[in-house]
Structure 1
Amino acid sequence: MIWNKKIECASRDEMAAIQSERLLSTVKRIYHNIPSYRAKMQEKGILPGDIKSVENLKDLPFTNKTDLRDNYPFGMFTVPMSEIVRLHASSGTTGKPTVVGYTRNDLQMWAEVVTRSLCMAGVHKNDIVQVAYGYGLFTGGLGLHYGTENLGATVIPISGGNTKKQIQLMQDFGSSVIACTPSYALFLSEALQEMGIDPESLNLRVGIFGAEPWSENMRKEIEAKLKIKAIDIYGLSEIVGPGVSCECTHQAGMHVNEDHFIPEIIDPENLQPVQPGEIGELVFSTVSKEGIPILRYRTRDLTRLIYDKCECGRTLVRMEKCMGRSDDMLIIRGVNVFPSQIESVLLEMSETEPHYLLIVERQGTLDILKIMVEVQEQFFSDEVRELEALRKKIRNNIQSTLGISVDVKLVEPKTIERTAGKAKRVIDNRKI
């Protein structure tokens, strides 16, 4: 089923016309309402009238996560707070989150693109969708929730965790679709095995997985263990949340809802567009959002775009699974983690040095973040009790900033390797 055939099967010329009209309107609103972006345009000698069509998109300045941080909390909004009906936020590069606001029209648009995504995944109104993404400031839970309701399917808003209850509801309510992170899907499969429950005794047939990187091998493992079709969904809160793009049942790349989110691929070094089909950094412009429209947002995700018509009949451009990042951000259990966040915590503490190492490992199906922290000489005591108290203090401070549990190991000064160039802060041992 295709939810919005007129848009999802539009010709390239028809799509370009829609994008151009919306882009011109968005550029004007941003220019007149966001001083920081207006200054960027003026620095490049660009006025709104210089943008004639989507072909001129490449002439506009980029937006970075730091722009959102520098304008915290509401400096990137183009409407008064009286028109904002919901706020979401995600981890920023420091302790401050990046904040996004939604008008009523924004929420309707978000529900529309998530509904399209669900249809791409083969979900229909007779399905029972168990949403096991987190609800709250994280966009995953509520994004899938309202898209499911908009489709007319039944939603179970269980949120994340509480695995035994998840399985009980799958059995009792007959859930046919599960929406969660791929690592949690594998965790569920292990729990089913431990409980002696055959996945084929459940009604599950589709899984919609996102919020963290996962491989084709992980997809095969999930499909084999849960006896479902595993679909990849992509989104980020700065653009809207889940529903920016999603795979169809052919699993040949994620269809981008490009009437709302225009994708570009650039070379992360020279910031110039790459040739069609080449791998580069994914950049998005939102052209229908009212609350916080964003032009040329650098996602830092590396991928490529596919413009061929899909077997499903959709003509929407497709993006491949992201192949890595052009920065040092980690995604741990659906949460964005930046080394600079750790550094900001350590710099506030008198007992530690600003030297640390993040080690990410996958134990079973869950990602574990271990942090090695250098302690100042005078605080590196032989007293086990004192060291343990310090370790707990550091761990609690870091967990409070990141919003996820971490394992902290204290090491002596000068233990962590120094380099003349950029310090190596991250060792990612996950086989993604």
Structure 2
Amino acid sequence: MPAPDRFDHFVERAEHLDHVDPLAGRRDLFAAPAEAAAGGADADPAAAVVSYLDGNSLGRPLLTTAATLSSFVSDSWGERLIRGWDEGWMLLPTQIGDELAQATLGAAPGQTVIGDSTTVLLYKAIRAAVDARPGRSEIVVDSDNFPTDRYLVEGIAAERGLTVRWVETSRRSGLNADLLEAAVGSQTAVVVASQVAYRSGHLADVEALTRIAHDAGALVVWDLCHSVGSVPIRLDEWGVDLAVGCTYKYLNGGPGSPAFVYARAGLHDELRQPIWGWFGHADPFAMGPGYTPAPGIQSFISGTPPVIGMLAMRDMVALIGEVGIDAVRAKSVALTEFTIELADAWLLPLGVTVASPRDSAARGSHVTLDHPRFREVVAQLWQGGVIPDFRAPEGLRVGLSPLSTSFAEVVAGLAAVHRELDRP
């Protein structure tokens, strides 16, 4: 353990920060694992989560989620059956898309739709962007972007006879203006980038990078998976072309909940996504011999919408809209700054390095710490109810979901990291 006085100091700091946190009362809206003691003498102590620091991988469910899903099964699905499609289910992808856009994306209605996985929607967006820039031969992507993004770019380049131009970025930083300016040119069709780097947490300047791509005549597809719901996003204001994000991290939609895609209204007539399905048809129930895409964002839908999968996120989107994304961001900054302060005091003497930007303006809502032993340490932490995650080669990610994470959890989690590293 750290020196007792230093430990007590941070415990007291955390108690104070939780006490004055204007969003503290919102934590009670989230489901938490039952205490191990509730299971009686035979309960497994490891079942009790002491510190959940993986909200950037899977958010806690809201307490309302169980009731929302149960009510849908018993009432909407159970009572209305197939009639439900005509009574509102058909509209949910665009309705919830507009709700999400207003609360978290800074986007006007009619540009966002829910459906498919992140991978499928990224494929649709990148392919549509490539085909909207005929005669250009390159896709630009950075070397430390999320694996799915990189794999998709390679696959689409192979399909369309294009070249991948790699921007070499450090796993401790991310894509910046100088790197992108050096990579784009007259042959750039599309730039694929993440607003928050999945490893380092680096927060990209979306507006500046989008402008650089546009100056080169290219389109940009932004991956918002590690940013949506935790940092302010202004897609319309920034002139973003296309964006895709998942909904099971800071939007708390649950494991495998469907992703969303945004396409700027001014591009709708140019974009043709490649997976033509009946729900993206202008008249799905005509079931005619040829494909005519629906107007606008509706054309990005392919198959039957995942109705159950999109319901859980709706209450979280409403909650973010109620408290405001700027308040969420302020709590996120406070949590990440506190995490770095603790790491400096407790973990740097044990050989840990901070692998995330120290400037909060350049950091999302997670902090990555590096140490050669972190693969084994994370496994031990999980057994003790402390849940961060591990990212190769040696990163422990402290994922801080602003509306559900307390400062006390951060202290408990990093104290446990110290104990594991300090074992003889």
Q: TM-score, normalised by structure 2?
A: 0.34
Q: Which has the larger share of strand? A: 1
Q: TM-score, normalised by structure 1?
A: 0.34
Q: Which has the larger share of helix? A: 2
